[in-house]
A = this chain, B = another copy of it.
Amino acid sequence: MATIRDVAKLAGVGVGTVSRVLSGKGSVSSKTLLKVNHAMEVLSFKPNIAARSLVSKKINTIGIWGTETSGEINRNTLRKIESELKPFDVHLIFSDGELNSKQNPSAARDSFDSLINKGCDGIIIWGSDLPAREILQIENEFSDITLLNNRVELIDDKCFYFDHYQAGYVCGQYLIDKGHRDIACITGWFKVYDGNQRHQGFMNAMNDNHVDIPEELIFEGDYTFKKGYEGALDLLKQDKPFTALFCGNDQSAMSAIAAITGKGLDVPNDISVMGYDDMNIATYTSPPLTTVRIPFNRMAVAATRRLLNGCYDLDLKVDCDFPVELIERKSVINL
């Protein structure tokens, strides 16, 4: 591998000049520019990233951490984040919480520390798997973080979250507007910020419309296919008929539909089912899923830009408008 000194020698200039050509900063005469570029070409010179990082104290890499880095929606969002980073030649590394964080908080912290040890310039923390206390501590000793889909007071400017309360409310109101009064739900994960919020929003919509949901018709899920399936079976076993089912996400809605159909009932004619997320597949389920679209991509872009601004002293525009959008398909009928 050719070094900057090899280039300098071949071009008959000093290393400083080569460095100036490389960075485009400082002035270089057009004659020298030509010589240097030619020498770089001949030697097929590639600057050594490590040497550069050693001086600049930047490794041009940001990390992303959190259980929510799985699943289809999230994968799309990761891609979006990558494309935001690409113009600045910044790369993304993952450290995936999901495998361990739910069961094992110290492993979660370990996988987080592996990002810090790697020396990432900044970290996006996705979701609410780390307790606020710990996040604040991290923010303290390692300031360049942003939170995605989580909210921690005191560092609100670094948090990019969606109003899941309102979205939950919209879902509840929608089912009621459609004439449903006997309603069940398979919730998300209560321990998690957004699961909690959306359930509260939904329940408040019920309250405001004087609709009462009996305890037995609330099944605590965890967003997985498995729990959606089991949840639906459980709800059907209760002695409380219902005409609509609100699910914490599309995955559980889809598997709930499978369970309901498996029992010989029809969706939506016997039971309407509403999802939450709007995955790609939601258009192609049977029936196509009525759901709510969360602007994860917009949120992710905002979080990423905020982080880039912080890490690399940039001034990118950060758009913080995250509208809810209800997507009507065929899984909910008018009673």
Binding site for B on A (CB under 8 A): 46, 48-51, 53-54, 59-61, 70-72, 75, 78-79, 82-83, 86, 89, 91-96, 98-99, 114, 117-119, 225-226, 228-229, 251, 254-255, 257-259, 261-262, 280-281, 283-288
- A-B complex: 6 closest residue pairs judged by Cβ atoms: A255-B284, A50-B53, A261-B286, A258-B286, A50-B54, A225-B284
Number of copies: 2
**A87–B144 CA distance with the chains assembled, in angstroms:** 26
Q: List residues of chain B with CB within 8 A of the CB of A92.
A: 93-94
**A46–B93 CA distance with the chains assembled, in angstroms:** 19
Q: List residues of chain B with CB within 8 A of the CB of A53.
A: 49-50, 53
For A60, the closest partner residue in chain B by CB is B118
Q: List residues of chain B with CB within 8 A of the CB of A95.
A: 82, 91
Tell me the interface secondary structure of chain A in the complex.
Answer: helix
**A262–B51 CA distance with the chains assembled, in angstroms:** 60
For A262, the closest partner residue in chain B by CB is B286
20 chain-A/chain-B pairs, Cβ below 8 angstroms: A48-B119, A49-B53, A50-B119, A70-B75, A82-B95, A82-B96, A83-B99, A91-B93, A91-B95, A92-B94, A225-B281, A226-B284, A228-B284, A254-B281, A254-B285, A255-B281, A258-B287, A259-B284, A261-B286, A262-B286
